[in-house]
């Protein structure tokens, strides 16, 4: 009897120690952003996305067990198309038909972002509409769309040298292979807050390529999960813990006007 009691007590302690995940619904958080601020360390996947997963697991403890999965964009698209159940972290509002498009389920925004134009400080470029990029060596990310330039890029009057990462774009700009590149403001703010060479060596155009917000985007049929997470997202912009997390990366929470 004593032995049985000991076993029961040990099991009870073990169950309590697993309380954050025992009985919780496992859900994957997909990310196709292996770049700062979303990923700042390759091996551990440390960065803003990992910090978000930690925050959500704490906020939804016992109900959901969120696991970060890094995916190439092409594979993520195929998994979405076949209906795999998950959410995509920090999805821009300008892709996948947007929050009002009906294709997927979106939460309230996590923060605002925009598409910046970055050039060398010694040869600054100022954007004054699509025509200002005619004849300019322009660097952009492979597979990304830029609505403000879509017509001119499709017709060929604006040509973009494409690459697979923001690090490659910055290297191309530093080497003089392109005159201007476009990267998100979230990346610019991270580099500005952590890299003196970036602050001193690059120029940010006063006019950008457009604003958007970043959200959690859920697969179709996940209304309950979306609603549960959305309740947390809507409170995060006033939570000192989340505000402190964003501040580490030079970012700010979504303003009330976008929520």
Interatomic CA distance for residues 253 and 259, integer angstroms: 11
Quick check: is 7 in a domain?
no
Tens-level pLDDT at each residue, the chain (259 residues): 455 555 445 445 444 444 445 689 999 999 999 999 999 998 899 999 999 999 999 999 999 999 999 999 899 999 999 999 999 999 999 999 999 987 899 999 999 999 999 999 999 999 999 999 999 999 999 888 899 999 999 999 999 999 988 889 999 999 999 999 999 999 999 999 999 999 999 999 999 999 999 999 999 999 999 999 999 999 999 999 999 999 999 999 988 555 5
Quick check: is 2 in a domain?
no
Residues 117, 158, single domain; the answer is yes
Residues 32, 68, single domain; the answer is yes
Q: How many domains does the chain have?
A: 2
Quick check: is 72 in a domain?
yes
pTM, 2 dp: 0.86
Residues 132, 247, single domain; the answer is no
E runs forming strands in the chain: 25-31, 64-70, 87-92, 105-106, 111-120, 138-141, 160-163, 180-184, 202-204, 211-218
Interatomic CA distance for residues 98 and 11, integer angstroms: 47
Residues 72, 103, single domain; the answer is yes
Nearest Cα neighbor of 131 from 109, 103, 151, 102 is 151
Give the model's pLDDT for residue 23: 84
CATH number at residue 155: 3.40.190.10
Q: Which range marks the domain in which residue 103 is found?
A: 18-112+213-258
Residues 41, 164, single domain; the answer is no
Domain boundary (192, 211, 230) is at 211
Quick check: is 5 in a domain?
no
Interatomic CA distance for residues 35 and 74, integer angstroms: 16
Quick check: is 11 in a domain?
no
DSSP 100-131: TSSSSEE-S-SEEEEEEEEEETTS-----SGG
Residues 201, 87, single domain; the answer is no
Residues 99, 174, single domain; the answer is no
Give the model's pLDDT for residue 19: 45
Q: How far is CA 192 from the centre of its chain?
A: 18
Residues 73, 45, single domain; the answer is yes
Residues 75, 191, single domain; the answer is no
Quick check: is 203 in a domain?
yes
Residues 71, 41, single domain; the answer is yes
Give the model's pLDDT for residue 14: 45
Residues 34, 99, single domain; the answer is yes
Interatomic CA distance for residues 99 and 106, integer angstroms: 6
CB 187 within 8 A of CB 147: no
Quick check: is 3 in a domain?
no
Quick check: is 80 in a domain?
yes
Residues 223, 173, single domain; the answer is no
């Amino acid at each position: 009897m004593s032995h049985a009691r000991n076993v029961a007590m040990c099991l009870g302690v073990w169950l309590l120690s697993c309380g954050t995940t025992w009985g919780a619904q496992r859900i994957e958080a997909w990310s196709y952003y292996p770049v700062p601020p979303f990923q700042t360390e390759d091996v551990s996947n440390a960065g803003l996305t990992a910090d978000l997963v930690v925050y959500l697991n704490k906020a939804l403890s016992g109900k959901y067990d969120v696991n970060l999965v890094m995916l190439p964009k092409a594979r993520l698209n195929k998994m979405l198309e076949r209906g795999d159940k998950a959410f995509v972290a920090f999805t821009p509002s300008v892709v996948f038909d947007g929050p009002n498009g009906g294709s997927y389920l979106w939460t309230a925004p996590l923060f605002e972002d925009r598409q910046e134009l970055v050039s060398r400080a010694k040869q600054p470029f100022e954007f004054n509409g699509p025509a200002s990029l005619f004849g300019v060596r322009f660097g952009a990310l492979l597979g990304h769309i830029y609505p403000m330039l879509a017509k001119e890029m499709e017709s060929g009057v604006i040509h973009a040298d494409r690459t697979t990462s923001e690090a490659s774009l910055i290297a191309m700009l530093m080497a003089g292979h392109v005159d201007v590149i476009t990267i998100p403001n979230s990346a610019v703010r991270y580099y500005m807050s952590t890299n003196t060479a970036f602050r001193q060596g690059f120029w940010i155009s006063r006019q950008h390529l457009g604003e958007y917000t970043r959200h959690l985007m859920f697969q179709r049929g996940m209304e309950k999960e979306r609603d549960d997470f959305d309740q947390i997202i809507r409170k995060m912009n006033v939570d000192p813990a989340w505000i402190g997390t964003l501040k580490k990366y030079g970012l700010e929470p979504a303003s009330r006007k976008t929520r």
